[in-house]
Structure 1
Amino acid sequence: MNPQGERWTTDQVLALAPDDASRKAGGKLASPGPWTETGADEGAVWGLCRGSGKKPYQAVIDIKGPAFKCSCPSRKFPCKHALGLLLLWAGEGTAVPGGEPPQWAGEWLAGRREKSERAAGTAAGGSAAARTPADPEAAKRRAERRLQRIGAGATELERRLEDLLRTGLAAAEGAGGGTSVENGGGSWDETAARMVDAQAPGLAARVRELGSTVASGADWPSRLLEECALLHLLDQGFLGRERLPAPLAATVRSRVGLTTEAADLLTGPDAATVRDRWLVLAQQDSDDGKLITRRIHLRGERTGRMALHLSFGGQGRLLDLALPPGLVLDADLAYYPGARPLRAALGERHAPAAPGPVPPGCGIDAALAAYGDALRDDPWLDSWPVVLADVTPVPPRDGTGWQLADTDGESALPLDPRSLGRTGLWRLAAISGGAPITVFGECGHRGFLPLTAWDPTPVSL
């Protein structure tokens, strides 16, 4: 095996950057000049970077995580020094030679290994009793009270939807600039706050979506009616959940905001994991000012199953899990319950992440069929992840928007309007150069949102 482990590509490193500014700053540090005492082994990369102070910054990366440590004061994760060191290591040559980590790097790496071993021991058994509530009956009563509060919120929301439809959708625009639920009634924000009080954040989010739909462009009444119908369906599904099949009932519970703990999925009495070599298809970060959400899309090499890993950070919490596109992870996943499972918790890893192949894909018709099948099981689904093979990006022409076309030209898929303002579309066209390529993204009612293309290595869009 390579004593420095499998090298990543430049695009895989840049996919870890929290923003464009970090990418640029990291790129400026991707040369040997500011670095001393660099080194790497199978699981880590380390080095000292000259800064503005007397002491150089100590940067170390656990590439098996990956995880990052730097003595600089930056609150970005990873910082520009970690990115620069990874870019230097990913390049050709001997700028980062093999060796043994120095004490300051070895201590941090040993601490991570110890923590990982403790977590593995916890997952293997013996910790379930420690997580068992001291008073199971009290926990059961709390869960029942929450279900009652959500039920009361869903019932109230049903009345407000009935008032809206009785008054007419046009009144929603005229009463308060598109913010009123009914003529003379409370605002969408007020109704959403009521759903938060009812401990139903999923309902609250859909109510806010209603408010943003009003007067949002041409044909907004049709879109508002569709959103009202989906919200009514979710309300009725929750109120009648006891009559639903178990998988659909689980989907309804998750859509209103009831979640399952990852630890219960991995080690609970009903735990069921899927081991596979999971190819990382995309990593996306979004920041609403309060919370950073990281979405990592995976595809099983053996099972062909799609998976979505979510992690959250904010208010001083760093996102520890970072997996750039193109890596393969031999690991266990536990899917959250639902009629069409997609979100999954990451369990035991059986080997370090390593570069993987270009994923197999399908045509446009098969992608639409996959989205339709998923939508049949989960009618509140916005999109479904798919890998498209042998498609060509087509820029706007003759009054049409951006599209992806099959090689035979018989099928084309419009691109999601959310991607139209991104330079990534022209980057996608440049990668293609008019030739068919493989693209991963989300196929939904708005169109296809491209996230990663292969050239032949993965490029984040």
Structure 2
Amino acid sequence: MNAMGVRWTAEQVLALAPDDASRRAGSKLGTAGPWSGRGSGEGAVWGLCKGSGRVPYRTVVDTTGLAYLCECPSRKFPCKHALGLLLLQASDGTESEETAAPDWAGRWLAARRARAGSAARQSEGGGPGGPADPEAARRRAERRAARITSGAEELEQRLADLLRGGLAAAEQRGYGLWEETAARMVDAQAPGLAGRVRELGSIPGSGPGWPLRLLEECALTHLLDRAWLSADRLPAPFATTVRTRVGLTSPVDGVPVRDHWLVLAQYDAADARLTTRRVWLHGTASGRTALLLSFGAAGRAPGLSLPVGAVLDGEVTPHAGSGQLRAEPGEQFVPVEGPAAPPPGGPVGAALDAYGRALREDPWLDSWPVTLTGVVPARAEYGWQLADADGREALPLTPAAQSRPGLWRLVALSGGAPVTVFGECGHRGFTPLAAWSPETPGETVPLI
């Protein structure tokens, strides 16, 4: 964008859209026709968009933190008007002079940035009233830990009853008993355990081999229970991982990392209660991979949205724990000119080794971020896979990845030739999230 010294592409703007309908609607508003009063300056763009009513919608985007304000009634985030404004800005052929924001945009920008500064000061000082009472915090933590311990002991008894009665009986009992147990874990303030119980309840009768899958998941749940009950005897990083897995928030206590971050992928996962957005970043100087998580209530998109393929100057602070992939973003991510080469990677064998090492630190890990170099998408007897160019090793794609349009985008990008692919490698297979061809190594192609 002009105000930040770099211009986003239309593809990067469209990557912010919450769904295909928003992309189509935003594209229609990416022309000058419906807009008036447009301007940019101090890390923001604004404009008035003519809608179906008599009064145009006022729209402003804070591009330093990718926040949006629009008077339209849409519940999508960003709405089509914010997307159209950004697309129009991206399509301008010349740099425009920065101007002062109108009062309505200036007030929102000032209030938003003041809140961000206040939140940072409260984080440093423990709250608006000064440092938090450590003794009160300790007592709250002890009460919650006692409730989680009670829930873990109850879950252990539930697993013992299941194995004593035989796994075959799990299919006849139905899902109700599992949901009741999950509700008890929620009451125990252990949402991580509740999630694992619901996963267990979905396995019986789910297809051939379900008893083996149920036994594997029961073993992992039992391991998590025992690890929680013995957390005081575990190494500190692993104990933090255990606390995170049962549902406690991991502390943000790492050293902040300032870098130029390549946005590798962004996608949402939703259930009846929550929408979780995962954003993968790669530090071009540090070589670090970071995962940013943001959350929204059911039916609403999370607030954090970054354009895939952009290089952003910013700071992230890692959470504690064994893997230390998850991080908290700083106040601003500013797009910069710079190389967007893919992260360094290796063949299929190296990816499997990386996933195996990660499992030693976190046995409950579903997947691990890896970059495959020189791989070719190929159709096998059991479905699609990514194979090394010499054909010696291959990774099957997960069932979900094989049903997405991104698979065909990857096949078209490859055309039978080796490509570089970033994604998540896990026990269910590999999920491709972004790819690069040898001809255009600086162009990130999103696959999800």
Task: Establish whether TM, by shorter chain, passes 0.5.
Answer: yes
Q: 1:176 aligns with which of 169, 173, 176?
A: 173
Count, aligned residues: 440
Q: Does 1:209 align with 2:206?
A: no
SS at match of 2:86: helix
SS at match of 2:144: helix
Residues 334/277 of structure 1: CA separation in 2 closer, same or farther (3 Å cut):
same
Q: Does 1:383 align with 2:383?
A: no
Partner of 2:153: 155
Residues 408/361 of structure 1: CA separation in 2 closer, same or farther (3 Å cut):
farther
SS at match of 2:351: helix
Alignment of structure 1 residues 213-252 onto 2, 5 Å: 213-252=203-242
Partner of 1:459: 445
Q: 2:355 aligns with which of 371, 375, 379?
A: 371
In the TM superposition, residue 90 of structure 1 has moved relative to its aligned partner by 1.9
SS at match of 2:325: coil
SS at match of 1:277: strand
| Greater displacement, 245-254 / 422-431 | 422-431
Cα distance in 1 between the residues matched to 2:115 and 2:155: 46
Q: 1:433 aligns with which of 415, 419, 427?
A: 415
| Greater displacement, 315-324 / 283-292 | 315-324
| Greater displacement, 417-426 / 227-236 | 417-426
SS at match of 2:248: coil
1:101-154 per-residue CA deviation (whole Å, 9 max, x = no partner) reads 44133333333343344445556x5556835334x4333222212111111111
Cα distance in 2 between the residues matched to 1:153 and 1:2: 54
| Greater displacement, 212-221 / 289-298 | 289-298
Partner of 1:400: 382
Cα distance in 1 between the residues matched to 2:8 and 2:373: 23
Residues 33/289 of structure 1: CA separation in 2 closer, same or farther (3 Å cut):
farther
Q: Does 1:285 align with 2:239?
A: no
In the TM superposition, residue 286 of structure 1 has moved relative to its aligned partner by 2.6
In the TM superposition, residue 276 of structure 1 has moved relative to its aligned partner by 2.8
Cα distance in 2 between the residues matched to 1:129 and 1:32: 44
Alignment of structure 1 residues 316-355 onto 2, 5 Å: 319-347=302-330, 349=332, 352-354=334-336
Question: Which residue identity lines up with residue 359 of structure 2 in the other structure?
Answer: L
**Structure 1 runs, 4 residues or longer, greater than 4 Å off:** 1-4, 119-123, 125-129, 315-318
Cα distance in 2 between the residues matched to 1:435 and 1:375: 32
Residues 434/355 of structure 1: CA separation in 2 closer, same or farther (3 Å cut):
farther
Partner of 1:17: 17
Cα distance in 2 between the residues matched to 1:444 and 1:97: 47
1:318-377 per-residue CA deviation (whole Å, 9 max, x = no partner) reads 73322112223333322222122211112354x623355122331222111111110111
Contact 1:5 1:42 in 2 (8 A): no
Cα distance in 2 between the residues matched to 1:40 and 1:308: 31
- Normalised by the length of structure 2, the TM-score is 0.90
Question: Which residue identity lines up with residue 191 of structure 1 in the other structure?
Answer: T
Partner of 1:145: 143
Cα distance in 1 between the residues matched to 2:156 and 2:345: 41
Question: Which residue identity lines up with residue 197 of structure 1 in the other structure?
Answer: D
In the TM superposition, residue 244 of structure 1 has moved relative to its aligned partner by 0.9
SS at match of 1:418: helix
Question: Which residue identity lines up with residue 133 of structure 1 in the other structure?
Answer: A
Cα distance in 2 between the residues matched to 1:444 and 1:409: 20
Cα distance in 2 between the residues matched to 1:213 and 1:457: 40
Q: Does 1:445 align with 2:427?
A: yes
Partner of 1:188: 178
In the TM superposition, residue 159 of structure 1 has moved relative to its aligned partner by 1.4
Unpaired runs of 5+ in structure 1?
Answer: 181-186
Cα distance in 1 between the residues matched to 2:230 and 2:317: 27
In the TM superposition, residue 42 of structure 1 has moved relative to its aligned partner by 6.3
Cα distance in 2 between the residues matched to 1:22 and 1:420: 24
Cα distance in 1 between the residues matched to 2:108 and 2:351: 45
SS at match of 1:213: coil
In the TM superposition, residue 188 of structure 1 has moved relative to its aligned partner by 0.8
SS at match of 2:141: helix
SS at match of 2:129: helix
In the TM superposition, residue 390 of structure 1 has moved relative to its aligned partner by 2.9
Cα distance in 1 between the residues matched to 2:38 and 2:92: 15
Q: 2:258 aligns with which of 268, 275, 289?
A: 275
SS at match of 2:8: coil
Question: Which residue identity lines up with residue 147 of structure 2 in the other structure?
Answer: R
Cα distance in 2 between the residues matched to 1:365 and 1:202: 31
